């Protein structure tokens, strides 16, 4: 399946911002220190290595966030949920009481709204109450599908800061273990543990914050679509169902 170019671009920019935010400030501070000592500059892989093993699940979380962002951006387009062309065609057939043609239009436009209205069409011969029940049941099913991958995005938003906190604890344990063994006579090893703690903290927040923002953005977008589909369905029931 080919994704629309603008959504791929958006996701790529998002991924770049996540990693740049994690490493830019750390790299800048390290470059200043190394400029005084004459050593080589840090690179991203070195930062990941210094962050310890916790950095690898955080990288996985960032990649997962990127994948979900691409997938949801593609599927949560208005064209894939409420297509104006389909709605106009459906109204025309239903006004003329052309049930079979309306069903064919639903098959032609395989979107959320068409599946909801098709469920109502199949129950149209049983009266308005049955139509409402069919539409409500299918609407709940479609809402669940729209929210499917967002659960994982919510997990990432909550898990990434916790992983960063775990890395912080492990880094501080390492630093204090060095102090207890060698005292303060080996500041390099102590600083290594503290550096690990700070890197994982920053990485966890820089992955979790965008994931949380995207989660709420997509949830708000889905809620708007669901509300709009409910209004359309109720309007069709009130205006277009033939009175007996």
In percent, the amount of the chain with pLDDT more than 90 equals 16
Q: What is the pLDDT of residues 114-172, one digit of tens each?
A: 888 888 888 777 777 888 888 888 888 888 888 888 888 999 999 999 998 888 888 78
> What pLDDT is attached to residue 222?
92
Listed in sequence order, the DSSP H helices in 109-186 are: 112-122, 128-146, 150-182
> What pLDDT is attached to residue 49?
72
pTM above 0.85, yes or no: no
> What pLDDT is attached to residue 37?
42
Higher-pLDDT residue of 12 and 65 is 65
Tokens at residue 148, please?
């499917």
Higher-pLDDT residue of 42 and 177 is 177
Cα(102)–Cα(143) distance, integer angstroms: 23
> What pLDDT is attached to residue 209?
93
Mean pLDDT of 54-75: 90
Task: Read off the DSSP letter of residue 38.
Answer: T
Cα(27)–Cα(33) distance, integer angstroms: 10
The domain total for the chain is: 1
Mean pLDDT of 204-225: 92
Q: How many CB atoms lie within 10 A of CB 71?
A: 17
Its domain, for residue 45, covers 1-244
> What pLDDT is attached to residue 35?
39
């Amino acid at each position: 399946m080919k994704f629309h170019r603008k959504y791929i671009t958006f996701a790529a920019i998002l991924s770049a911002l996540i990693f740049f935010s994690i490493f830019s400030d750390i790299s800048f501070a390290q470059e200043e220190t190394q400029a005084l000592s004459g050593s080589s500059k840090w690179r991203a892989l070195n930062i990941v290595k210094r962050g310890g093993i916790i950095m690898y699940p955080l990288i996985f979380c960032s990649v997962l966030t990127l994948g979900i962002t691409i997938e949801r951006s593609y599927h949560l387009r208005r064209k894939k949920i409420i297509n104006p062309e389909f709605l106009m065609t459906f109204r025309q057939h239903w006004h003329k009481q052309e049930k079979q043609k309306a069903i064919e239009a639903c098959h032609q436009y395989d979107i959320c709204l068409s599946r909801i209205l098709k469920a109502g069409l199949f129950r149209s011969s049983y009266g308005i109450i049955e139509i409402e029940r069919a539409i409500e049941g299918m609407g709940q099913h479609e809402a669940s599908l729209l929210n499917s991958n967002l659960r994982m995005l919510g997990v990432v938003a909550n898990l990434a800061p916790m992983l960063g906190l775990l890395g912080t604890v492990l880094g501080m344990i390492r630093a204090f273990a060095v102090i207890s063994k060698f005292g303060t006579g080996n500041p390099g090893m102590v600083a290594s543990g503290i550096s690990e703690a700070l890197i994982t903290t920053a990485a966890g927040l820089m992955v979790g914050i965008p994931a949380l923002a995207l989660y709420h953005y997509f949830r708000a977008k889905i809620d708007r679509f669901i509300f709009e589909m409910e209004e359309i369905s109720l309007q069709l029931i009130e205006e277009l169902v033939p009175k007996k």
